Amino acid sequence: MNEFALIETHFKRLSDRTGALLSAREPELPADLGIGDDCALMRVPDGMQLAVSSDTLVAGVHFPGQATPFDIGYKALAVNLSDLAAMGATPAWFSLCVTLQDQSEDWITAFCEGMAAVTQGSPIQLVGGDTTRGPLSICVQVMGVVPAGQALTRSGARPGDEVYVSGCVGEAALGLALALDPQAAQWQQALDHPHLLARLHRPTPRVALGQALRGIASACIDVSDGLLADLNHVLRASQVGAELELDLIPVAAGQDRMISITAGDDYELCFTAPAHARSQVIALAQSLSLPVSMIGCISKAQGLRDQDNQALTPAGYQHF
């Protein structure tokens, strides 16, 4: 089967807008021209900015051999949506460049089903890409829209702002330990193993949270490299520091606290907001049924410190 037939058969369903959960207040943005020409053509509504991010997943580097094709498709799209979430953008379109080694049609079918599962929660339309032969890797580029001037950047944190994180960090790292080692000590513990493996393989992009934080958060990032490392990106971009209350950080049950706050792949949002906005943050967390924890505050003095004024090393996952 040549690449055209493969795309026709398997990727077509991703080019329809199948999702049903699009928030009523956001515009639907079907492409004017989708897959099948030299370019896709889309309209960005007046008064909106285009938000773009891309990420590559390489076999053996970004997903363990145990990951199913469904997981790989799911995660490749989900981690990119997480970047849109971190900007407060509404997902609209994505491109998909897949390099396949010797994957079967069954593999490709399951891979596409994984991607389609993500689009159920966050409607987004496949508009292009390509399929090539080579070592397995997946490159996704997502495009979204955000009202002009309202995107959540990394550079807006101010002294006195409070630091928040959604959900719980360290679960994906615990899932990875389980996935990589069938003899791992964690298998013997009374942990929620399916949940931890799902956190690793099928992270939930916090799209609705990001959108709800527009006008409330002063800065935002998604936790891909590790909480400390990612928060440090915000601190550097904003030219500020932070003091964290380590005990307030929600970490995975059964996981070491320091590992939890330096391990990556959780795709929670870490954000800052002025102290006066705390009740708004609590209210929107409740409305989204998503735990959000206040874990520290922004300081004028640069660097990252704990509640005892001890310096914290912003260690994180080094991709390179």
Residue 11 CA to its chain's centroid (Å): 22
The yes or no reply on residue 91 touching its own copies (CB under 8 A) is no
Of the listed pieces 124-132, 159-167, 192-200, 275-283, which binds its own copies according to CB under 8 A?
Answer: 124-132
The yes or no reply on residue 127 touching its own copies (CB under 8 A) is yes
The yes or no reply on residue 124 touching its own copies (CB under 8 A) is no
Encoded one letter per residue, x for contact with its own copies by CB under 8 A and - for no contact, window 49-78 reads xxxxxxxx-xxxxx----------------
Burial class of residue 49, CB neighbours in 10 A (0-12, 13-18, 19+):
middle
* First-to-last C-alpha distance (Å) of the chain: 36
The yes or no reply on residue 143 touching its own copies (CB under 8 A) is yes
Tell me how far apart the alpha carbons of residues 46 and 25 are, in angstroms, rounded to a whole number.
16
Encoded one letter per residue, x for contact with its own copies by CB under 8 A and - for no contact, window 260-299 reads ----------------------------------------
Strands 303-306 and 241-244: parallel
Burial class of residue 38, CB neighbours in 10 A (0-12, 13-18, 19+):
exposed
Q: ∠ CA 170-176-179 to the nearest 5 degrees?
A: 145
If the CB atoms of residues 125 and 255 are measured against its own copies, the closer one turns out to be: 125
Tell me how far apart the alpha carbons of residues 293 and 135 are, in angstroms, rounded to a whole number.
41
If the CB atoms of residues 3 and 247 are measured against its own copies, the closer one turns out to be: 3
The yes or no reply on residue 106 touching its own copies (CB under 8 A) is no
The yes or no reply on residue 108 touching its own copies (CB under 8 A) is no
If the CB atoms of residues 55 and 162 are measured against its own copies, the closer one turns out to be: 55
Of the listed pieces 87-95, 157-165, 183-191, 252-260, which binds its own copies according to CB under 8 A?
Answer: 87-95
The yes or no reply on residue 132 touching its own copies (CB under 8 A) is yes
Closest separation in Å from C-beta 107 to its own copies: 14
Query: Half-sphere exposure of 68 toward its Cβ, with a 13 Å CA cutoff?
Result: 14
State the virtual CA torsion across 261, 264, 268, 271 in degrees, nearest 10: 60
Helix (H) or strand (E) holding 56: strand 48-58
If the CB atoms of residues 154 and 201 are measured against its own copies, the closer one turns out to be: 154
Tell me how far apart the alpha carbons of residues 296 and 173 are, in angstroms, rounded to a whole number.
23
Q: Give the CA distances from residue 151 to residues 86, 210, 233, in Å, rounded to whole numbers and listed in that order.
A: 9, 9, 17
Tell me how far apart the alpha carbons of residues 41 and 46 are, in angstroms, rounded to a whole number.
16
Q: Which of 22, 97, 208, 248 binds its own copies (CB under 8 A)?
A: 97
Tell me how far apart the alpha carbons of residues 263 and 276 are, in angstroms, rounded to a whole number.
31
Q: Which of 72, 84, 124, 209 binds its own copies (CB under 8 A)?
A: 84
The yes or no reply on residue 46 touching its own copies (CB under 8 A) is yes
Tokens at 279, concatenated: 């009740």
9 near 3, Cβ under 8 Å?
no
The yes or no reply on residue 28 touching its own copies (CB under 8 A) is no
Tokens at 89, concatenated: 């953008």
Tell me how far apart the alpha carbons of residues 79 and 15 are, in angstroms, rounded to a whole number.
19
The yes or no reply on residue 14 touching its own copies (CB under 8 A) is no
Of the listed pieces 142-150, 244-252, 253-261, 296-304, which binds its own copies according to CB under 8 A?
Answer: 142-150
Residues 200-229 close enough to bind its own copies by CB under 8 A: 220-222
The yes or no reply on residue 141 touching its own copies (CB under 8 A) is yes
The yes or no reply on residue 27 touching its own copies (CB under 8 A) is no
Binding site for its own copies (CB under 8 A): 1-3, 6, 32-33, 36-44, 46, 49-56, 58-62, 83-84, 86-87, 89, 93, 95, 97, 99, 127-135, 137, 139, 141, 143-144, 146, 148, 151, 153-155, 220-222, 237, 318-320
